[in-house]
C-alpha cells in the first residue's frame, strides 16, 4: 500500500515546481520573475519541512498513521531546497563563482541557508531502509538534525525578507508551534537515551 502512496504523492509534490516553471515561461511571475521563482521554491522547501515535522504531533492528535509520509515530505523539502539553491546560482548569479563565494562568506542569511541544506543532505541520503538497518540507533540520532535544519531555515527565511511581514510571521509562527508540539517527544527521547546509559 505504501508503494502506491509514493507513486501518487511524489508527482503531486512536484506539481508546484512544474507550475512555477510554466508560469515563468508564460511571463506570469511578475516584474522580477527570477526573484519570485527563487523565493517560491524556497518557500515550498520550508512548507514541506514544516509538514514533515508536523506529522508526528498530528498523528498523536487524530490517531491516524501519518509517519508513513515522513520520508516523502522530507525528501520533497530537500528537493525544493536544492532547486532553490540552483535557481539562486544559475538564474540569479548566472554561475558567477566570485559573487557566490562573497555571499557565502559575508551574507548571514545565505550562510544559514547553506548550513540548513548541509543538515538536510545526510538525512536525504539516509532516508532508506538500507541506511536504517546499517545505522540502527545512530539513524535516529542523525535524523535529529532536522530540528537544526528547520530552525536555521526559519531564520534564513526571516532574514531574506529583511523585515517581519505577514508571510514570514505566519510561517515562523507555524515553525514555533510545530517545535513546541514536538518538544515532549524530543524530551522523552533524551530521557530514554539517558536511561540506557550505564
User: Is 198 within a domain?
Assistant: no
User: Is 98 within a domain?
Assistant: yes
CA torsion sign, 4 to 127 to 14 to 47?
positive
Percent of the chain with pLDDT over 90: 66
pLDDT in tens, 153-173: 999 999 988 778 888 999 999
User: Is 175 within a domain?
Assistant: yes
- Name the 3-class secondary structure at 169: helix
User: Is 32 within a domain?
Assistant: yes
User: Is 78 within a domain?
Assistant: yes
User: Is 194 within a domain?
Assistant: no
User: Is 91 within a domain?
Assistant: yes
Query: What pTM did the predictor assign?
Result: 0.90
Domain count, the chain: 1
pLDDT in tens, 7-45: 778 889 999 999 999 999 999 999 999 999 999 999 999
In which domain, by residue range, is 118 found? 2-189
pLDDT for res 162: 77
28-37 as b/e: b if 16+ CB within 10 A: ebeeebeebb
Spatial separation of the C-alpha atoms in residues 82 and 44, rounded to whole Å: 11
User: Is 196 within a domain?
Assistant: no
Amino acid at each position: 500500500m505504501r508503494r502506491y502512496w509514493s507513486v501518487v504523492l511524489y508527482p503531486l509534490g512536484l506539481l508546484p515546481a512544474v507550475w512555477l516553471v510554466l508560469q515563468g515561461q508564460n511571463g506570469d511571475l511578475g516584474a522580477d520573475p527570477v526573484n519570485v521563482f527563487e523565493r517560491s521554491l524556497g518557500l515550498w522547501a520550508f512548507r514541506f519541512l514544516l509538514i514533515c515535522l508536523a506529522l508526528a504531533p498530528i498523528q498523536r492528535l487524530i490517531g491516524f498513521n501519518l509517519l508513513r509520509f515522513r520520508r516523502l515530505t522530507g525528501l520533497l523539502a530537500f528537493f525544493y531546497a536544492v532547486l532553490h539553491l540552483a535557481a539562486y546560482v544559475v538564474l540569479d548569479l548566472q554561475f558567477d563563482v566570485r559573487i557566490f563565494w562573497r555571499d557565502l562568506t559575508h551574507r548571514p542569511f545565505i550562510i544559514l541557508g547553506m548550513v540548513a541544506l548541509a543538515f538536510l543532505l545526510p538525512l536525504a541520503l539516509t532516508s532508506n531502509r538500507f541506511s536504517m538497518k546499517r545505522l540502527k540507533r545512530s539513524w535516529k540520532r542523525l535524523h535529529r538534525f532536522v530540528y537544526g535544519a528547520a530552525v536555521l531555515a526559519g531564520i534564513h527565511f526571516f532574514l531574506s525578507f529583511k523585515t517581519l511581514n505577514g508571510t514570514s510571521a505566519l510561517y515562523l509562527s507555524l515553525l514555533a508551534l510545530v517545535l513546541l508540539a514536538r518538544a515532549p517527544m524530543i524530551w522523552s527521547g533524551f530521557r530514554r537515551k539517558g536511561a540506557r546509559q550505564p
